[in-house]
Structure formats: structure tokens, C-alpha cells
Amino acid sequence: MTGNRIVVTQIVTRFQAGAGTVALRGADALDPDRFAVSIIAGSGDRLLDEAATRYPVTVVPSLCSPIAPRRDLQALVQLTSLLRAQRPHVVHTHSSKAGFSGRLAAYRAGVPAIVHTYHGFPFHEFQSRPRRTAYIRIERALARITNHVLCVGTGVAAVAVRERLALPENVSTIGVPLQTAVSEQSPARRSAARARLGIDDDTHVVGFVGRLDYQKDPLTWVAAMGDVVGPQVTAVWVGSGPLQQSAEALIARLGLHQRVHLAGERSDVADLLPGFDVFAMASRYEGLPLALAEAMSARVPVVATAVNAVTDLVSPGETGLLVPPEDPVLLARAVRHLLGSPERAAGMAAAAVDRINQRYSTDALGDVLARIYGDGHDRASATADMTGALACK
């Protein structure tokens, strides 16, 4: 079935926006005559369904984010068995749990080349010191069996090198792979987006797209929107997650239910973004957020927290505004500034589109992957040749 192609198995915990998008767009950018890609995922959404139309997909439900020793051991055993059966030349893991279980399984199965992408880290400044230290030690141990590390953004790459999660020569930086960048905004696209949201053209909209979870910090976002919304301003969060009930309770407690809306999961995010007047991100930590890049590509002015590799995209005062995490007062202030300074906001949005067009493309990601996967295949071939030569002696 694979012939002389390089066989690559991608392993992702949750195959959805973020890691799933990078994995799928990377696979799509590869030459199918040279590479045979398959996917293993713990779970997924519409993106996994899309991937299944083009690649063999195996779902391993025990591969999930929460730490659960019995389930994690089950995932390790299942992944090892699958990889021994598939016999890939390269295993490429994404996200923390898949990075842990997938890399161990690949090592146990004797896979010649192991690649891992850091979209962010399992450790961050808001954890206790013992927990953070434990995660760093685990990642350093995994580095010993990892042939190459990809980092989504220079900020993430800098942390990986500083914390000794990879050898310097084995680290490569990639961007968020956008298929296209929107170069023009139009009243028609804005009106169409507003119609989808059920909001009239005269109301300002502050929006965000992401999971309602600890990382994205929806409670700080809701608190900030309380100082932003009014008769002519509304706020919309697109996405769902474990903190949805907490966010709804805070909206009710602050009396914001008429002006702050949780829109839930949507399959038409690209069509909704032109309806935002400002994209506001409150995340505590990130890699290089795909949603932020897509908002910028849609010419939406952005406010984001100054974390990890976000500064690859947002240069303060040039392509957007930065605020510290967990600070609803400054987040609200920055959003109000952009709403009240439309000419400056438009100038930042235009500069952001230029940056996106210059730096990020699916083809660029495909070039990096082809080189790294090719190196892994060459390493496997050299090992096989050496083993054969020794067997003849």
C-alpha cells in the first residue's frame, strides 16, 4: 500500500482546532507520492471527520487529557500495539498527553524517528512550583528519545531551549499554518457575519473564539466585557468547554446576559470573524493561537495577552495591543481604546495582514515537515543497512 513512501503516523490527543489543525494542514502539504500519512487520535470533532476522508484514522479513547494512571497505561499499551502493526518510519506527536504516551509508545515499538510539536507546554507560571518542576522533568526525560522538536512560535522555541527540552540543533520553529489570508474586508462580509450572529450592523462586537477552559480564562474575559459592553457594544464568545457553567453564572451575576453571549461550538467561524470589531483574548498561556492568527488575517483588530509566542503575531502598537494575563481592567481598557480609535485600529489590522501573509503558509510547514521526515527516513535506512551488514559477517 505504501510502496517506497515514507510512512508517517501522527498522534494527537484532541483532533480539533489548534493541534488538530496543524496536524491536518501539515499532512495536506506533504507530497502524497513521497509520504503516506495516518492519524491516531484520542478524540476529535468535525476536523477529525474531515481528516478521515483523506487519511486512515484510528481513535483510541483512552488517550485523553486528564491524568488517569489506569487509562494512561491502557493508552500506552494500545498505542504501542498499533505502532508495531503499522511500522511507521516516523511518529509525530502533538499536544501534552499524546506527546507523553505517543513518544513512549513509539520508543517501545522501535520507531526509527520520533518528532514532537510543542503547541504550548503542560507547565506554566500559574502552577505550583512542585507541579511545574515535575512536568519539566518529564519533558526533559522525553527529550532523550525525541529526534526533533517543532515549536509553534519563537516564544515557545525559546522556552524549549531554555528548559533543555531538546538539543539546540534539533529544534525548529513553525508558524500557524493558514491556508489563505483575507486581504480585503467589506461591508457585505461584515453584514453577512452579523446576520449569522443575530446582531445588527450598528452594534459594535467584541469577540473571541476558543475553549471555555482554564487556559483561555473566560472568567477574566467576562469580567473585562462587563466594563466594555453597553447599548451599542456587545460581546460574543464562540466555543464551549468545562467552564461554560461558571462563565454563564458570572454573566448572570454581573447582569450581562443581554450583552455578553456564549455562542457555543460553530462550524462557520471563518464566516463569523468579519463581524467582529475587536478580537479580545484573555488566555493565561498559549503557543501561537490559530484563532488569533485567523482573526488577524480577517482584518480584525486584536487585543491579546502577552504570553508565550503571541508576540510573534502581535507587536504592541503595530499589529495589535498586548495586556498582561488575569487583568480584566487593562483588557477592558485596551478594547475600549480600539473601539474608540477606529483609524488606529484599522492601521494595526492592515499591518497584521501583511505580517500573516509574509510569515505563515501551509506550504512553509510542508517544507519543514518534508525535511524532518526525510531525515528520519534516512536515519532508519542507515540503521537497517548497518544491521544487515553486521548480520552478514
Question: At 309, which CATH number?
Answer: 3.40.50.2000
Domain count along the chain: 2
Give the containing element (helix H, strand E) for 136: helix 129-143
Q: Are 66 and 209 within one domain?
A: no
Q: 90-94 and 113-118 as β-strands: parallel, antiparallel, unpaired?
A: parallel
Lowest mean per-residue pLDDT among 76-90, 256-270, 299-313, 347-361: 347-361
Per the structure, the complete domain to which residue 56 belongs is given by 6-177+361-392
pLDDT, residue 180, reads 52
Q: Sorting pLDDT into bands at 50, 70 and 90, what band is 390? A: very low
Mean pLDDT (whole number) for 317-326: 96
pLDDT, residue 378, reads 66
Q: Sorting pLDDT into bands at 50, 70 and 90, what band is 357? A: confident
Q: Are 13 and 122 within one domain?
A: yes
Q: Is 29 exposed, middle or buried (0-12, 13-18, 19+ CB in 10 A)?
A: buried
Most confident of 155-164, 235-244, 307-316: 235-244
Average pLDDT, the chain: 90
Residue 1 domain-assigned (yes or no):
no
Q: Residue 307 — left, alpha, or beta (φ > 0 → left; ψ -120 to 50 → alpha)? A: beta
Mean pLDDT (whole number) for 269-291: 93
Lowest mean per-residue pLDDT among 22-31, 241-250, 293-302, 372-381: 372-381
Q: Are 47 and 60 within one domain?
A: yes
191-222 residue pLDDT tens: 999 999 999 999 999 999 999 999 999 999 99
How many other C-beta atoms can be found within 10 angstroms of the C-beta atom of residue 28? 17
The C-alpha atoms of residue 88 and residue 387 are separated, in whole angstroms, by: 18
Residues 6+ apart with CB under 8 A from 352: 296, 297, 299, 301, 302, 313, 314, 319, 320
Q: Are 322 and 217 within one domain?
A: yes
Residue 181 pLDDT exceeds 70: no
Q: Are 209 and 353 within one domain?
A: yes
The C-alpha atoms of residue 19 and residue 310 are separated, in whole angstroms, by: 16
Q: How many CA atoms lie within 13 A of 241 on its CB side?
A: 18
pLDDT, residue 365, reads 87
Q: Are 304 and 366 within one domain?
A: no
Q: Sorting pLDDT into bands at 50, 70 and 90, what band is 26? A: very high
Mean pLDDT (whole number) for 355-381: 80
Residues 6+ apart with CB under 8 A from 215: 120, 283, 284, 285, 286
Copy the grid coordinates of residue 214.
Answer: 482554564
pLDDT, residue 179, reads 58
pLDDT, residue 164, reads 95
Q: Sorting pLDDT into bands at 50, 70 and 90, what band is 287? A: confident
Sheet holding 35-44, edge to edge: 57-59, 35-44, 6-15, 90-94, 113-118, 148-152, 171-174
Q: Are 119 and 232 within one domain?
A: no
pLDDT, residue 122, reads 87
Q: Is 232 exposed, middle or buried (0-12, 13-18, 19+ CB in 10 A)?
A: exposed
Mean pLDDT (whole number) for 21-46: 94
| Residue reference for cell 496536524 | 23
Residue 125 domain-assigned (yes or no):
yes
Q: How many CA atoms lie within 13 A of 157 on its CB side?
A: 17
- One-letter amino acid identity for 13? T
Q: Are 313 and 366 within one domain?
A: no
pLDDT, residue 392, reads 40
